[in-house]
Structure 1
C-alpha cells in the first residue's frame, strides 16, 4: 500500500494511541477521558487551535495551511458501545460493560495520524478542521455539533469521513455516489389488556395475542404497501410480556426499527403502522399506543465529492482495491446531518477477516490505520493544493 512515508514512520505510535483508546471506552456524549487524550495529542502535534466542549465532549481542531484558501472538514467519531468485551487482548476495555465494538477508536486514531502529518507539513492551502465527535451510536452527536454551529463557526466548506468495514479486503475502500446508507426510525408499541388466569382466557383481553397479531401485520407494510424496488426494512426486534406459564399478563411491548431512503416511503410506513396498531387494538379488545421516533436521515454522498474521494483512495490503495459504485446499504450513520449541510463523502475502509461490527469480539485492525490517515492527508492536499509561485 503506498501510504504516506511520514505516516508510516509513526505507525507504531498510532497503534499505541488506538490501543490506549480501546482500554477506555466511553458512551454517548459522556466521553471525558477520550476527549482529554485527543486534545493532549493534538496540542503535542502543534495544531493551531483546539476547541473543546462542543456537544459536551466534542472537539474541533484547526490546522492552517501555507496559503490562503477554504476550510475542509474531516470527521471521526469516538464513542463506544454498551457491550461486554470478549476479545481477550491485553489492551481490552477497563470499563466493564463498555467496549469499542464499532472501531471508533480506529477512526479517531486515523484522524489523529492525519493531524500529526498535516501539522508537520502544511502542504495545503486554506485550513483543515478536524472534527472529533461523540455520540454517533446514540444521541446524534453530529446533529448536535451542527446545531451548535461548527460548520458556520469554522467556515467549513466540505466534509469527509471514514468507517471501518470488516469482511472487506484490508486497506481497500468502497463508497457510492448519492444515497449510501438509510434513514433510521424507531417504533415503540405499548399494549394494555386485561390479564387473568391462563386457563380462563375468555375472562381476559389478551395482550400477548394482540402483540403477535400486530407484529405479523407490520410485516405486510413491506410486502404489500410499498413498491418492490424501493428499499425498505421494517423489523420487530423486541417483544416483552408475561411472567409465568399460567397467567395471561395485562401488558405487552413491541419495539423495532424502520430503514428507508425516500421520505415518502418513510411517511407511508408511519401512516400504515398507525392504522395497523389502532385496527388490531380494536379487533383484540385492547388499547395500544404507538410511539414513532424519527431518527438519523439517510446518508447521501455528493456525487462529485464521492468521485473525488474515490480517486484519492485509488492513489493510496491502488485502482483495483477501490469500489466507487458499491451501492447502498440499510445501516445508518449520523454523519448524514453534516452531509445535509455541506457537500462531502463517506467511505468504508476494509479491515479484513475480523468479527463483525457491534460484536463482543470485534477489534479494529491496526495495520490499516496508516492507510486511513494517508487517505485523509492526501485528500486535504489534493482538495486544497498549494499554488506554486511562477518559476518555483
Structure 2
C-alpha cells in the first residue's frame, strides 16, 4: 500500500482526500497498489473532525515516516509552501501540487531539485484546474514545437465578462455575483480581476513551451477593471467578444513575448465562444497545427482529481516522470516580455469629437459615439503608435480611456 501526505486542508486538499476515498478502487488499479492518506498537515484545529487522527501541525512528523512516498501540497502561496516542498523533495519524496504561484515563481528550481534527488515534481492542477493541459503538452505534444499559446485561463473573470455581456451588468455588479457564488475572493479579488492568476498560468505554459523559466514579473499584465458594458456592446458590433487573454508567442528574432490583457476576440476564433467559468487554451504546434483544451478551470473535485492523477503517475513512474517536464533556470529580466507587433486596436476616448478620431488615430472605423465618449477601431497600431495617439488626444484636451488589442486568428 502506498502512503501519502497532504499539506493544506482547504478546498483542494479536502478534495484530494475525498477523491482518494471515493475512487479508491480505480486509483489502486491505475497505481498498481492501494493509495492511502496517512497524514494531513494543517495549523488549524481539526480535533472535531472524523479524521482528527490524520492531522499534524509538524512537517517533521511526515518527513520522519519512511512510509510516505508522495506529498501533496495544497497550501497555496509561497511563504510556507515553497520551503516545505523543498524539504520534501530533499528528503526523497515526490511532490504533487496545484500551487500556480509557487510553480510560476520557483518551478525551474524545484524541477532541478526533484531531478537531483530522483523524485518527481508534478503540477498538472496548477493550470486549468481539472482540465488536462500540462500533461498533454509535455507528453502528447512532445514531438511538436509550440510557437504560440492563447488562453482563457481564469474562470472568475470569464464568468464576470459573460454576465456583463448577457445581462448588461457593470464590473462592480458582476464582481459581486462572482463573490457571492464563491468564484472570487470576498476580501481581495485582485488575483483574478487584475490578471495575476492568469499571469502565473501563462508563465508556466510559456516556460514549458520555450524550455526556460519565464517569470511572472516579466509578463505585462492587465485585468478587466476598466471594461464597461459599453465596451462589450461595441465589441459585439465588431463581431467580437471581450475576453481576458493570457498569451505567449515566439518572436521573429528568436525571443519570446507573453502577456495578460483584455482583448477583442473575433467570433471566428474558438475562444470567443468560451463562457461562464470555463477555460480554454489554444496551442499552435508545427506538426499538429492548432489544438484546443477546454473545461472547467476550477472547483474542488475537478482540481483534486488532477492532483490525484499526478500522485498516481509519481507512484508508478517515480523519477522518470519529471524529465519531460523539465525547463532550464534563467535569470529574471530587467524589462518586460512585450510584443511590439502592430495589430487592430479598439480605443475608447473622451473629450474629443468622434469626427476627429480618424485624423488623430489613423485609418479605422468609428464604432460608437456617445457624445462625450467614443469608441474607434484602429486598423493597425503598434504600442508606439498608441502612445502618439494618447499624446495627440491630450493636446486636444481629450483622454485615451481604454485600449483593447484584437487577438490574431
Which band: TM-score by shorter chain?
under 0.3
TM-score by length of 2: 0.27
Q: Quick check: which one's helix share is greater?
A: 2
TM-score by length of 1: 0.27
Q: Which has the higher contact order (CA 8 A, sep 6+)?
A: 1
